[in-house]
């Protein structure tokens, strides 16, 4: 339910408030919005009267927002940004058939994106808009209607659809090793590459092989793609998901650092806010995505 009208200020007054907060003066805000300085002052005065709250600190020599005005301006900025993005989305697809999906870069680009052509072919009226994210991520500050999540069911306020386990392999450049290592512990003699979002991955991998590996050190990356390139160029050994490692191995850019099966490390999920469960584009996407999961990984 929308709040009573008296709590809904005009967009013009919110734009004036946001510009003053962002630019620091009424004159700069006026230039930014192509208005006069007096028009900015009128918009702010109107907003104060409607809210019955002082937004301007009138003890200052120059126009300055009160602490409450600053907080309100920043809330308004988020709302105006989301409204503008909703308008762009509407213009891009007037039928309303669109889905904003936030993806983890490696999974989204290497596993999901190659399959999306099939979804588009089956649902030509639905546009899927992709945006990437790292953790932490919140639907409250994003335009995404759903997201790819990796790890465990630790995201409050969302519904989960399991996709598949994340299987990882230790890989490196072919010229880093003359042959695959014979023992898991031997990997500790080489530089290990780490993901900032999952810095414990190597420790967990070694623990699954019953090898103690305390306080591991090495280069840190914020994206699997950057870590992959570092491995390709011989900077160390990386733990990569199979959908990424196998393609690099097939092209001869990487090789297994040690022979053995892939190890399971967490799980991928599709997640969405519980209050968006009935959005038709999301319903159609979930149904299609379920059919893309290999039976042995479902």
What is the arithmetic mean of pLDDT over 11-20?
92
* pLDDT > 90 in the chain, percent: 48
166-263 CATH: 3.40.190.10
Rounded to two decimals, the pTM is 0.65
- Report how far residue 248's alpha carbon sits from residue 258's, in angstroms, rounded to the nearest whole number: 16
- Report how far residue 197's alpha carbon sits from residue 107's, in angstroms, rounded to the nearest whole number: 14
Instruction: Please report the sign of the dihedral spanned by the C-alpha atoms of residue 101, residue 104, residue 109, residue 114.
Output: negative
* Relative orientation angle of helices 37-51 and 11-23, to the nearest 10 degrees: 110
Whether 81 has a pLDDT exceeding 50, the answer reads yes
Using the structure block, give the residue that is written with the tokens 């409050």.
156
pLDDT digits (tens, 9 = 90+) for 205-219: 999 999 988 777 889
**Architecture of domain 98-164+267-297 in CATH?**
3-Layer(aba) Sandwich (3.40)
Whether 114 has a pLDDT exceeding 70, the answer reads yes
Three-point CA angle 239, 245, 248, nearest 5°: 130
Phi/psi at 31 (5° precision): -65, -40
Using the structure block, give the residue that is written with the tokens 């945006």.
131
What pLDDT sits at residue 60?
65
What pLDDT sits at residue 94?
64
What pLDDT sits at residue 208?
92
pLDDT digits (tens, 9 = 90+) for 177-199: 988 999 999 999 999 999 988 88
Q: Tell me the domain boundaries of the chain.
A: 5-92, 98-164+267-297, 166-263
| CA 122 to mean position of chain CA atoms | 26
Q: How far is CA 22 from CA 27, 70, 122, 213, 218, in A?
A: 12, 9, 45, 49, 40
What pLDDT sits at residue 93?
62
Same fold flag, 5-92 and 166-263: no
DSSP for residue 234:
T
Mean pLDDT for the chain overall: 87
Whether 14 has a pLDDT exceeding 70, the answer reads yes
5-92 CATH: 1.10.10.10
């Amino acid at each position: 339910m929308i709040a009573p009208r008296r709590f809904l200020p005009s967009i013009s007054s919110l734009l004036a408030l946001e510009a003053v907060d962002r630019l620091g003066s009424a004159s700069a805000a006026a230039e930014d919005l192509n208005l006069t300085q007096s028009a900015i002052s009128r918009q702010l005065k109107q907003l104060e009267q409607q809210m019955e709250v002082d937004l301007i600190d009138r003890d200052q020599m120059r126009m300055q927002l009160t602490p409450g005005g600053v907080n309100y301006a920043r809330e308004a900025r988020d709302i105006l940004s989301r409204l503008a993005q909703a308008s762009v989305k509407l213009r891009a697809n007037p039928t309303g058939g669109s889905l904003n999906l936030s993806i983890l870069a490696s999974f989204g680009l290497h596993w999901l994106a190659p399959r999306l052509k099939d979804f588009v072919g089956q649902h030509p009226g639905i546009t899927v808009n992709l945006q990437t994210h790292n953790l932490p991520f919140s639907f409250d500050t994003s335009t995404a209607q759903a997201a790819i999540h990796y790890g465990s069911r630790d995201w409050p306020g969302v519904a989960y659809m399991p996709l598949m386990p994340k299987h990882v392999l230790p890989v490196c450049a072919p010229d880093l090793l003359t042959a695959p290592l014979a023992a898991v512990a031997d990997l500790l003699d080489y530089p290990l590459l780490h993901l900032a979002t999952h810095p414990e991955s190597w420790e967990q991998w070694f623990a699954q092989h019953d090898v103690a590996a305390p306080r591991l050190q090495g280069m840190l990356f914020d994206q699997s793609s950057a870590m992959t390139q570092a491995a390709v160029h011989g900077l160390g050994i990386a733990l990569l998901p199979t959908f990424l490692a196998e393609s690099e191995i097939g092209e001869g850019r990487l090789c297994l650092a040690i022979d053995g099966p892939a190890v399971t490390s967490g799980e991928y999920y599709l997640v969405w806010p519980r209050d968006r469960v009935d959005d038709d584009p999301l319903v159609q996407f979930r149904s299609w995505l379920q059919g893309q999961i290999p039976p042995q990984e479902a």
